[in-house]
Structure 1
Amino acid sequence: MRSVRLGCLVFGVALGVACGGNPPEPPKTEDKVATPAKPVPKPCDPKDLIPVKPETVPESLEVQHILIAYKGSGAAKNPQIKVTRSKEEARRLWEKVFEEARNCADFNKLVIQYSDDPFKMNDSKYNAFPGFYEITPKGVFDENFKKCAQGLSPGNIDKVESYYGFHIIRRKA
């Protein structure tokens, strides 16, 4: 078998030289060094989600939010929301979901799974972003919610309690 391969190699070299070409160079062993596999990038770095106050407070900004309502909260007064959890149960869920969001969980999925906001899927313009709101100077928002959102740089996540319940807010980039 080796003699057949050697014969083919010699014939190929002879044919190349006879046709006016240069003989092929044998493969170099150092060319066969394996390149290291590229590391798979993480979807996000939890450090990038820590709230960073923007240099200037924007007049308008876009956010996504998760509302965790409880009995006695302003949201529980909405007949579309069926709230059965106590404030303490809501606080524990709020902390759990906030930790998931900070550990790079898919925020869209968290909104769909946990948010008690009855309008989280109503804006057809932003169906790709459930829980989407645009905060504008003319918009009416709870003051705690608005201050928290305005205190975030794009991409950051924070939490706040308002009249309506507990919120996890992500400022859109």
Structure 2
Amino acid sequence: MALQLPQDLQFDFDPKLLLEVKFPQPSGAPVYIKAGQNYPVNQKIPSFGVLFRPLEILRFGPGPYVVIAVDYDAPVGVREVRHFIGGGFWFGGIDADGVLPLVNTTRAVSEWVAPQPPAGEPAHRYTFLLYKESPGFRTQTIITPDTPGLPIGFNLSTFAAATGLGYPLGGTFAFVATPAS
């Protein structure tokens, strides 16, 4: 399934790694993101992993990686809403499903904000992208853990270019809608 990114984004998406996203649940098994499916609002912070593909893993190395989550369907004028920016992810040991968990070693640059689009609007696309961490990302000050204000008006293309992240190596997306009251 295509990632269905907006046509006006200023980057190409040609995935090299398969990003896995899963949300822990208070009771029961975690919820795994399957590209293009609908998910409930208010999910807890997800965990991330990469499907084990030996040649790609060797090509890109054990880390560090950056994961960014963005809502691309925010109202006109807001554009993109950032839901998470985290760096310092490294591959952990392979799990029973053939996934290499991404283990975080640093504080998030922008803490997780659970999806909660306005009630009654069509479902929003929440996109998760994986990048190889660049030296420019580690030293950037555009967005820090102490950046004040709401995470609206974010421009992922500009941020990725300014921090030297380049193009995403992998990603997935989900649709989330808040039911009308």
TM-score, normalising length: structure 2: 0.25
Larger radius of gyration: 1
| Larger strand percent | 2
TM-score, normalising length: structure 1: 0.26
| Larger helix percent | 1
